[in-house]
Amino acid sequence: MNTLVRKSVLDVKPYVPGKPIEETKRQLGLKEVIKLASNENPFGPSPKAVEAMKKSLAGVNRYPDAQGYYLKKRLARHFGLLAENFLLGNGSDEIIDILIKTFVETDENIVTSDTTFLEYEIIAQVNSRKVKKAPLRYFKYDLGAMLKLVDKKTKLVFIANPNNPTGTYVTKYEVADFLKALPGQAIVVFDEAYNTFIDVDDYPDSLDYLRRKNKVVILRTFSKAYGLAGLRLGYAIADPQLISYMERVRQPFNVNILAQAAGLAAIDDKDFLKKTRRMTLEGKDFIYRELSKMGLGYVPSAANFILIDVEKDSREVFKSMLKFGVIVREMSQYGLKNFIRLTIGSQKENRRAISALRKVLTPRA
C-alpha cells in the first residue's frame, strides 16, 4: 500500500511530544509523577476559565460559533484593535498550517531558524513547501543569516520569540533592522507563545510593527500562561486584509465551544496570570542557582523553561529522571544531544526535579 501515500509525507519526521503523566505511571508502575516536559502551566488552568466551561458543558451538542464572535470582540478590546484583526485556531499549530496554505505557493519558500519549534518544518513538509533554515548563533536566532536566505520566492518567515527550545529571544533592535531589509512579499510571523514570561526591556513590541503597517502576523496562545493547553486555543493578530485571506482557509468549526468559553473568561483572570508569572520567574531564579551549584551550564531563558547542558546523552538522563518520577524533555530530536529542556514548575516540583537531576548526574560512590 505504500505506493498510495504521497512521497513528501514519507519524508516527514513526526513530532515526538512530551511523555504524558498517565502513560508514565502506567508503564513504570509509579504512583507520583511530575511532568516538566511540555512547558505547561503547573498551577492548573485559570479558575475563571474552569467556571466558564462548567456553565457551557450542557450546550456542547451545538456546533461552536464559527465566527468566534465574542472571543474576538474581547481580544479586540484587550489589545485596542478590531475583531477583524484576529483569527482563532485549534492551537497555534493549526494556524501555522493555515498560514502556509494561505500565502505560500508550492514553488515558493519559507525561512526560519534551525533548532526551533519543529512544527514549522513538519507542517511545511506535509504541505510540500520548501523551508530554508539558518543555524542558531550562540543558541539564538541569527536574523542576519536568515536575511541572506530570503529571496524573491520567500513568502513567510517564522520567528519564535522567545525561541523554543532554547528560551533565547531576538531584540527590538535586531528585528527593526531585519524588517527594514526584508523584501515586500515576505510576511514575518512572530510566534510569541511565551511572551508573558518576558522580563527584559529590549523585547520587541510586535503589535507596534502591526500598527506601522508592516506585514507581520503575531501568534499568541492560551496554552501556556493561561493554562489551557488541553483545550487547544491559539490566535493570530494581523492586518484585517491578511486575516480575511486566512479566514478563507480556516475550517468553520475549528475552535471548540469550551475553548471559546474558557478563553473569554481567562482573559479577565488577571490574578491567575500575575501569579503564574511571578511564581515562574521565582522558580527560574531558584533553578538557575541550583544548576550553578551543581556546575551545570544552561542557556539563560526568557520563557518558562530552561535548556540545560547535562554533558552526557540526553536520552539517558531522560530515562534516569523518569525512574524518579520526573518527566523532562530530551533534546535529541532537536539535534541537541547533551541537553535536556526543563519546564519551570511549582516550587515543590522544581525542588523535586533538581533533587532527581542531582542524583542522576552524580556518579555513585
Instruction: Show contacts with a second copy in window 92-111 (CB under 8 A).
Output: 93-94, 97, 101-106
Smallest gap from Cβ 74 to a second copy, in A, equals 15
- Which residue of 27, 28, 55, 66 would you call a contact of a second copy, by CB under 8 A? 66
Decide if residue 365 touches a second copy (CB under 8 A).
no
**Cα four-point dihedral sign 28, 33, 37, 41:** positive
Dihedrals phi, psi of 275, to nearest 5 degrees: -60, -45
54 forms part of the interface with a second copy (CB under 8 A): yes
275 binds a second copy (CB under 8 A): no
Q: List binders of a second copy among 152-181 (CB under 8 A).
A: 155
CA–CA separation, 219 and 207 (whole Å): 11
> Which of 165, 204, 227, 263 lies at the binding interface for a second copy (CB under 8 A)?
227
Residue 11, classified by CB atoms within 10 Å of its CB into exposed (0-12), middle (13-18) or buried (19+), is exposed
Binding segment toward a second copy, per CB under 8 A, in 188-196, 245-253, 312-320, 356-364: 245-253
| AA letter at 301 | S
By beta-carbon proximity to a second copy, the closer residue of 65 and 177 is 65
CA distance 184 to 179: 10
220 and 161 Cβ atoms separated by less than 8 Å? no
Kindly tell me which residue out of 145, 229, 296, 361 binds a second copy, with binding defined by CB under 8 A.
229
Considering only residues 287 through 326, tell me which ones interact with a second copy, judged by CB under 8 A. none
* C-alpha span between 185 and 165 (Å, rounded): 29
Does 27 help bind a second copy (rule: CB under 8 A)?
A: no
Tell whether residue 29 is a contact of a second copy (CB under 8 A): no
- According to the binding rule CB under 8 A, does residue 131 interact with a second copy? no
Contacts of 219 (CB under 8 A, 6+ apart): 92, 95, 96, 189, 190, 191, 192, 193, 234, 235, 236
Site for a second copy in 76-95 (CB under 8 A): 90-91, 93-94
How far is Cα 307 from Cα 165, in angstroms, rounded to an integer?
7
The whole-angstrom separation of Cα 191 and Cα 116 is: 11
For 346, the grid coordinates are: 511549582
Closer CB to a second copy, 124 or 287, in the complex: 124
Q: Contacting a second copy (CB under 8 A), which of 152, 181, 211, 251?
A: 251
CA nearest 283: which of 200, 354, 339?
354
35 binds a second copy (CB under 8 A): yes
Selection from 49, 115, 102 nearest residue 266 by Cα: 49
Tell me which of 27, 28, 55, 59 binds a second copy, using CB under 8 A: 59
Q: Which is nearer to a second copy, 86 or 103 (CB)?
A: 103
Task: Pick from 31, 62, 180, 212 the residue near a second copy by CB under 8 A.
Answer: 62
Single out the residue of 111, 70, 83, 92 nearest to residue 268, CA to CA. 70
Count residues near a second copy (CB under 8 A). Answer: 84
Residue 1 as a binder of a second copy (CB under 8 A): the answer is yes
Interaction between residue 32 and a second copy (CB under 8 A): no
Q: How many helices (H) and strands (E) does the chain have?
A: 14, 13
Which residue, 124 or 321, is less far from a second copy as judged by CB?
A: 124
Of 55-63, 77-85, 316-324, 331-339, the window that binds a second copy (rule: CB under 8 A) is: 55-63
- Cβ-based neighbours of 279, under 8 Å, separated by 6 or more: 43, 346, 347
Contact pick of 31, 61, 295, 364 for a second copy (by CB under 8 A): 61
At position 293, the amino acid (one-letter code) is: K
74 binds a second copy (CB under 8 A): no
